[in-house]
Structure 1
Amino acid sequence: MSRTIVLAVAIAAIGAGAYYYLTQPEPTPAEQLQSAAEDAGDAVSEAAQDATDAVSEAASSVADQATEGASSIAAQATDAAEQAGEAATDLANQAGEEVAALANQGQDLLNSWVENGALSLENFDYDTMVASVQESNLAQELKTQAIQILDDIKASPETIAVKFQELRDLLSGQ
C-alpha cells in the first residue's frame, strides 16, 4: 500500500504540472513561445519538487514501518522525479533558444528590407517584401499578420508610418 501512495503522489504531481502547462493562455506569438518555455520549465520543476517532497515524506513514513523494499521504491521515485525535472529543463532551454531564433529571423527580415530600400517612407516594394515573408522560416501566423500589414500599406500608402511601426513590433517580437 505504501508503494501505491508514493506512486500516486508522484503521478499526481507530474499530472498537475502537465495540466498547468497545457492550460496557460497565450498572449502574442513571441510572448506565447517565451511564456510557454518559461511555464513549462517552472511547472515541471515545481512538479518535480512537489514529487520529491512527497516522496521524501512518504519515505520517512515508510522507513518507520517498512522494509528495504519500500526504501528502494522511494529511491526509484526520486530518481524518476529528478529525471523528469532535468528533461523539462532541457525542453525549456531548447524552447527558449527557438524563441530567440524566431525573434531574430523577424528582425533580420525587417532589417534587410530597410537596408535594401524595399521599405522606407519614400519607397515601398510590396512584391519583394511579400516574397521574402513567404520564403522565410517565420511561423505561419506571423507570416499571415505581416502580409496583412503589407496589404494595408499597399491599399493606403499614406498609412506607411503607422503600419511600419506595427510591422516592426510584429517582427521584432514586441
Structure 2
Amino acid sequence: MLPEAGVRQRGLVDRRIVFADAERTADYMFPFIDRRWRVPLIVLDLSMGPPWILDGPFRVDQFRFRTPLRTSDLRRIESVPLDELAKLVHYDPWWVFRRVSGVDRAWIEALFATNMAASFQHAGLTYRIRDLVFSAELDRLQEIDAKRGPFRAMTFRPGDIELLTLRSSPPGRPDLVRTRLAKAL
C-alpha cells in the first residue's frame, strides 16, 4: 500500500525545484536518511558541477518542489563532515556519484559507502531494494519497497529494520562491498 502523497526515490529524477530566487532542474535528488528514518539533508545533482546540499523544507507543487530557500543557500558536499555522512544512508540505484568530478575523493567514497543499492539479508532471506517512499515534504522515509526473487515483494516500515545495516560497505571501507545482514528492530 502506497502512503498517501508519498514520493518515490525513482521519481526524483529530472524534477524542477522552485527556489525563492530561481527555478532549477535537478537531474537527481537524493534524500539522505538517518537511523530514525528522518531526512536531514538532500543531495542535488543540478548538472552544474559538483553535488549540492539542500537542508531546507520542501513542498510538492504539481510536478515541482518548492522551497523558501534561495539558491545561495545550497552548500557543497564537502561542507558535510565525513563523520556525519557515515551516520546516514541513501538509495542510488544508478550509482550517479560515479561520474561526479570536482569533489574531494574522500567525499565521493563516503557517498558510495552510504548507498543502499546492493542486496541485503533479513530473516535469512536475500532482498534487493526496489524503491523508497518518502513523505510529500521529503522530511522522512515512510517505507522501503524491496523484492525477494523476481516476484516476491516486501515492504519495510520504521521499526522493521535497521537502516544503517543496509549500506553498500562499512564506514571507512568503501572498497569492500558485501551482502549485509539486516538487523530487525
Q: What's the TM-score, normalizing by structure 2?
A: 0.22
The structure that is helix-richer by fraction is 1
The structure that is strand-richer by fraction is 2
Larger radius of gyration: 1
